[in-house]
Structure 1
């Protein structure tokens, strides 16, 4: 049985929805989305995000027309620097060690501002300024930091809800519990996809197929194969359905693989979260991003990262990986009363995370033994050495003031005393009761390696010819070549929108050529 469609999108996440809606906007008739998971799992990994979109912008006035949570009175209290194309490009290339494909990066950066405008105006995504995540209230002013300022009302849940409403509004059908199992190839052209629906294989004909079904992060076997054996125990942050299907489908069609298959987007994640899937209710609240305000120590009582190396949204992807490689694959985040009040309620609320309290460091160490702390004395000594180094630095640099909204230079290093592993910014002593600790693990979000695509059209590149495979496109986490080793927060959703729009427009052109 054959069904003629203008475009078929595989995957119902953010990038897939962008592709489908872009195809409709460009005039494509009969757009279909097929989704492996059931309807209650719609939205892929986008559902589990904070909705953060990193984009080029000219400052606050540039973004006011697309955000919904800034009153006229609040405008005068906001400090927000412009974020240029050069800064965005530099951030991706810097964190990727210069390995990212320059043309792919240029496409993401160059298309970012137009993409968020399109999402706001055409999809009706309810963008907000991320006050509670990317700004600190300092001396009565909201000071944004780290380049990334946009989020979505309701986070990933709000983002996917907007997409679903737009799909319904535009008449796009979504078939759930319908995995794609094979691409239809005719004379080197992709002319459709074979799906399983109600237990039967169905051949669906289409002028174009867009793969937007994520990476292989939900497959323990593929994680162990590509990322290393430790990754079999990482906690899946989002959907359990991203098991590498898109890679297999595209390779059958002769697609070229590219990018960093040895690394992924990970994060500091609640150690008590589910192992193999995200929680649809708590979703991104399992993130534990407060480590720059305190310390992280492993099971043996030692620090293993510079918690103040950079702003959180430039370090969490690689720090999640470092947690995984610690003994037992977990660690403890620790604060005292000076910074506890700065922790995000969404992530550290009493109803979200298990908290371990104490009146002094020794008692905290005792209380953490049942949570997996193996060396009580090392834990106490590590914090004592840290405190001494901070005090020595503060005596030498009395003019430096703690400010979480800038890289304040308040560190553990001085001419008199220093640590082999510094804390480079935001270093306050841990000595004022009460003390708080939470146990964290590594949560994997998406994998970096994927399909090679044409950065202008999102067409999937053939491994044999080096040219795009006619009729096959790709968007979202399945694309390779953008991120290597690390990742600037908010770039993933932006990339999904940029290449999703490109794929949808190109699919519409093919449909027009065929049906006319």
Structure 2
């Protein structure tokens, strides 16, 4: 049998590229297959902000991996964030359902993987503009997520692509994998894309979830999920995932759950290649959020944004018209993330009164007036601090606002219209800590590996911000290394 490559990687996002680098550095000939055209290289990764959750002992630990020192470093405060902290966050936000072995692999492996990525040309920085507030002359990071890639998702993909080219990794676009090939013994020997077959000693699946398929969203996530906007690539329709199930890969994870955020109501149906992540609206903990009837429906200040934003999109989808509005006043407007709230075409309304704001935005005036009056009356005196859970909550209000509750009383008032933007689905295939795909009988499928959004078992209901890139990096690296080792061992030698 003549092989097209030693290792085939299906998908060109962060997890796929990490797999490709790991396989190539072990001498494997690597072929990456991308379902979309060349402009789709990067998959969902291209549309991220590039935030990656990692562990660190102190600021100096982070400085050792960032690209350029920042002049703000002497005035920066970042609390240590170790593996135990990461593990606790994973367990807390997934309601204790995250797979303990996979979680342990991520939280204990991510710091070394970040250093390994840096050796492979990936550049990192501290994301002051997204994860820090200036308080009393100090830049205070919050939520365990200070690190991001230079130039966000676009930069991460460009850096991955450059490394792949240096290593001789081939990328074939417009190749939609829909079948996994096996021999008579059940060993994976390649993949099929339409009428074409590609042979290899091992295959790594890193083609994302099914979030871009309206049919699969409605089938697995439930009613109205076919109406959600897609934050990223339109090519993650689950075809490779379904192909894995057809060869008896064991389903794992939260198949009726997903990562979904507050997304600009004017956004296109799938990701914008220019604006990418700028269409998200994540300063909502400083706001009050209402539906078209002017009623609040969630606790905007329940937690630091990093631990709620991935589940609030689902709450918005449940509202009339799948529409909501984030409201700010002159006190909170200066704290908004500029990249998100001043993006071109943003759904923004401004007025000098609540009544005028309601009319401009299309919110029920009476409902909004009553909500603002009740909310303002429920706030109480205290010290506002956006960099911590300040305990400045409402009293006697349902739903409450648990932190950062200030009266909405200083014009001009701002409203931003948001809908549900789905990022990725939580259902996938079961893998072990080496990235090997496990079958229905509990055994590894020889020659088949998975990483990234295709690997189920880590996220349920919610997820800590930046842990998707972290998991994709750790398991992409492991899957690529294991795939190359399997081929070189002679078990599936060409």
Normalising by the smaller structure, the TM-score range is over 0.9
Match of 1:219 among 194, 213, 218: 213
More divergent stretch after superposition (201-210 vs 298-307): 201-210
State the alpha-carbon separation in 1 of the partners of residues 415 and 173 from structure 2.
41
Aligned to 1:87: 85
**1:351 CA displacement:** 2.3
Q: Which residue of 1 aligns with 2:222?
A: 228
Counterparts of 1:472 and 1:195, CA distance in 2: 16
Identify if the C-alpha distance between structure 1 residues 56 and 203 changes in structure 2 by more than 3 Å, giving closer, same or farther: same
Q: CA deviation at 1:350?
A: 5.5
The equivalent of 1:440 in structure 2 is 418
> Which residue is 1:397 aligned to?
none
Q: Is the 8 A contact 1:51 1:156 kept in 2?
A: yes
Decide whether the 8 Å contact of 1:360 with 1:431 is kept in 2.
Answer: no
The answer for the alignment partner of 1:100 in structure 2 is 98
SS in 1 for 2:165: helix
Instruction: Give distance in 2, aligned partners of 1:69 and 1:77.
Output: 16
Are the equivalent residues in 1 in contact too, given 2:291–2:324 (CA < 8 A)?
yes
Seen in structure 2, the aligned counterparts of structure 1 residues 88 and 428 have a Cα distance that, compared at 3 Å, is same
Structure 2: gaps (5+ residues):
none
Deviation string 1:82-129 (CA, Å, 9 cap, x unpaired) is: 10111100101100011111111111111110111111122x111000
User: Between Structure 1 and Structure 2, how many residues are aligned?
Assistant: 491
Alpha-carbon shift at residue 245 of structure 1 (Å): 1.2
* CA apart distance, 1:26: 2.0
Taking the aligned partners of 1:351 and 1:192, their CA distance within structure 2 comes to 44
Structure 1, gaps ≥5 residues long: 395-399
Q: CA-atom RMSD, angstroms?
A: 1.2
Q: Equivalent residue of 1:164, what SS?
A: helix
User: Do residues 504 (structure 1) and 493 (structure 2) align?
Assistant: no
Match of 2:366 in 1: 377
Q: How much does 1:246 deviate?
A: 2.0
| 1:454 counterpart residue number | 432
Q: Which digits, 9 at most, give the CA deviation of each residue in 1:273-322, with x for residues without a partner?
A: 011x1000000000100111111000111101111100111001111110
Q: Secondary structure at the residue paired with 2:383?
A: coil
The match for 2:163 is 166
> Structure 1, residues 349-395: CA drift from partner, whole Å, max 9, x if none?
162413101001111112122xxx2x2201111011101111xx21x
CA contact (8 A) 1:26 1:504 kept: no
CA distance in 1, matches of 2:442, 2:4: 29
Contact 1:2–1:203 at 8 Å: present in 2 too? no
Change (3 A) 1:109 1:352: farther
Could you tell me how far apart the structure 2 residues matched to 1:190 and 1:159 are? Answer: 30
Partner of 1:424: 402
1:494 alignment partner in structure 2: 470
Deviation at 1:247, TM superposition (A): 1.8
Report runs of 4+ in structure 1 exceeding 4 Å deviation: none
Alpha-carbon deviations, 1:379-423, whole Å to 9, x = none?
Answer: 111011101111xx21xxxxx31110011111112xxxx202111
CA distance in 1, matches of 2:40, 2:3: 25
| Equivalence for 1:109 | 107
TM-score of the superposition, structure 2-length normalised?
0.98
Q: What SS does the corresponding residue of 2:182 show, helix, strand or coil?
A: strand
Q: For the residues of structure 1 that align with 2:452 and 2:72, how far apart are their CA atoms?
A: 35
Work out whether residues 72 and 139 of structure 2, in 8 Å CA contact, stay in contact via their aligned partners in 1.
no
Alignment partner, residue 131 of structure 1:
128
Per-residue deviation at 1:336? 0.3
Name the CA distance, whole Å, in 1 between partners of 2:256 and 2:430: 16
TM-score (norm 1): 0.93
